[in-house]
Structure 1
Amino acid sequence: MLDRVRALLAKAESTDFPQEADAFTAKAQELMARHRIDHALLVAASGERDRPVTRRVAVDNPYEAPKSLLLQVVAEANSCRAVWAKRFGFTTVVGFGADLDSTELLFTSLLVQATRAMTQAKTTTDEYGRNTTRSFRQSFLTAYASRIGERLSAAADEVGQEAAGSASGAQLLPVLAARDDAVRDAFEKQFPQLTHHTTTINNRQGWASGRAAADRAALHGRHAVAHE
């Protein structure tokens, strides 16, 4: 499954046609969501003891706050929880192993797509002649992450609703709820006290361009990132 997802995301990263990138990334997320459901049912039926694990993902400068936000929304769409340790330069993600694989894979691909779209976008100067590149890119990536979160959540909900309406739906819902509870408990045990870092949008052009890029990539104003 991961090989199929990697192949789809590689196509999304390489194409110059937004509609193709959209289709490839959406299909990859659908595969991951269906795999998560199938895996959860298999583990429940077999009686295996599957526990949440922890993984650290590096978040590099510059623009680490919106990059961390992107990782957070991807993690949430894949039934994981994430917290950014700013002073150490990484985000800790808690979830089941297969979900962590999906999260890291999709985050990396979306960041590649975002960076390419961001660097191709035109920036301007303000009324004082100052270059607005940094504020543009900060706002671009924040808007991109926010919109990607909306789209991934909608895609995951659609797959979940289809699965709930299937023959195994009655068995599925308590299984998924139990796994969500296990992830939440593991996360809260590791991070009993969190603060929230607020990202401020101060470049309207960057915000609008980032939202548009997220729509093309595939799948407000202020968004909170869980922060250790």
Structure 2
Amino acid sequence: MKLERIAALLAKAERTDNQAESDAYLTKAQMLATLASIDLATARNHTKTTETLTPVSRTVTIGVKGKRANTHLVNLFVTVAHSNSAHVDVARDSTYVISYGMPSDLDSIETLFSSLAVQMITNGNAYVNAGSWRGEKFDGRVRVSGGYRRRRVEFTAQTARAAFYRAYIVRIGERVNEGRAQAIRENDSMTKKKGGLSGALVLANREKEISSFHRKTSQARGSWGGYSGVATNNSGSAASAGRRAASSANLGNRRELPGARQELST
């Protein structure tokens, strides 16, 4: 299954304002990516030619050092990657990630991420600039001695944006996982009569190999801290806006995005 098939299917999403249709397009895109992964793994079990079907690692630039958005972009990348059988190492300063997986899976991950990242930032900026969050309070997560506690705090532009991003990413995770589950069911309905392996088992075997490759090749040490601010993925209207934006997110033309991603801010 070629990336061009995903792009051709989702080109329609560029012309629709219907949230239900847009949601279906992203789910279908993830279904196609998962089915492709299952097909390649199954084919590998029946051929001795494995040169192009072995795990690889790739470095993906997230953003320049010091940008607050980097942490959220990393979370978005990891969310998409984990739904496509990949492992991810994160740079300490969140400026880049290293993904580990099958080449075709990594292609799908980068295509999904590149488009969703631009949409997340663009929609987040539009929400913050509209200012509907001003004067609103939410239950924030405040660091105290020994951990965190909840406290009512008023939104700032920074916390409203963070809440938007966090909720957006959670919703995207739900959608790509829905697509993966549908793909497995579709695969199983086609292979059941042929006595083939279930899609879940095929992917599990594939993921074991990727995990082994990651353990052998990764040079990462310690753990990535991630976002530690006050906003959560259910913080007030900002989080609701983030979920709505993620529900209507669609995929565009990847060729337009790499340069734009370097300019993402806040």
TM-score (normalizing by structure 1): 0.83
Query: How big is the shift at 1:131?
Result: 7.5
Cα distance in 1 for residues equivalent to 2:155 and 2:182? 42
**CA–CA distance in 1 between the matches of 2:54 and 2:98?**
16
Structure 1 CA distance for aligned equivalents of residues 18 and 182 of structure 2:
25
Conserved 8 A contact 1:52-1:97: yes
**Any conservation in 2 of the 1:73–1:149 contact (CA below 8 Å)?**
yes
Q: CA deviation at 1:21?
A: 2.4
In 2 relative to 1, CA 43–210 (structure 1 residues): closer, same or farther, beyond 3 Å? same
Mapped to 2, the partners of 1:32 and 1:108 lie a distance apart of 15
Higher helix share: 1
Q: How far apart are residue 3 of structure 1 and its match?
A: 1.1
1:194 matched to 2:218: no
> Does residue 108 of structure 1 match 2:114?
yes
Which structure's relative contact order is higher, taking Cα pairs within 8 Å and 6+ residues apart? 2
Q: Deviations over 1:166-212 (max 9, x none)?
A: 23532755543221111111222314643142424524322221122
Q: Tell me what 2:151 maps to.
A: none
State how far apart, in whole Å, the 2-side matches of 1:25 and 1:172 are. 20
8 A Cα contact 1:144 1:214, kept in partner: yes
Q: Distance in 1 between matches of 2:195 and 2:117?
A: 35
For the residue of structure 2 that corresponds to 1:217, the secondary structure is: coil
Report the more deviating stretch, 63-72 or 40-49. 40-49
Which residue is equivalent to 1:215? 247
Corresponding residue SS for 2:46:
helix
| SS, match of residue 27 in structure 1 | helix
Is 2:13 aligned against 1:12?
Answer: yes
Who is 2:175 aligned against?
Answer: 151
Please say if residues 13 and 112 of structure 1, whose CA atoms lie closer than 8 Å, have aligned partners that are also in contact: no
Instruction: State the 4+ residue runs in structure 1 displaced beyond 6 angstroms.
Output: none
Report deviation, 1:12. Answer: 3.2
Equivalent positions of 1:1-228 (< 5 A) are: 1-13=2-14, 15-49=16-50, 50-60=53-63, 61-87=67-93, 89-121=95-127, 122-123=130-131, 124-126=133-135, 132-165=156-189, 166=191, 167-170=194-197, 174-189=201-216, 190-191=218-219, 193-199=221-227, 200-202=229-231, 203-217=235-249
Structure 1: unaligned runs, 5 residues or longer: 220-228
Distance 1:73 1:46 in 2: 32
Gaps of 5+ in 2: 138-153, 252-266
Give the conservation status (yes or no) of the 8 Å contact 2:9–2:25: yes
Give the % identical residues.
Answer: 31
1:17 & 1:115 partners in 2: Cα distance? 21
| RMSD (Å), alpha carbons | 2.7
Residues 3 and 56 from structure 1, CA distance in 2 versus in 1: closer, same or farther, beyond 3 angstroms?
same
Bigger drift between 2-11 and 178-187 goes to: 2-11
Q: 1:17 to 1:116 in 2, by over 3 A?
A: farther
Structure number, greater radius of gyration: 2
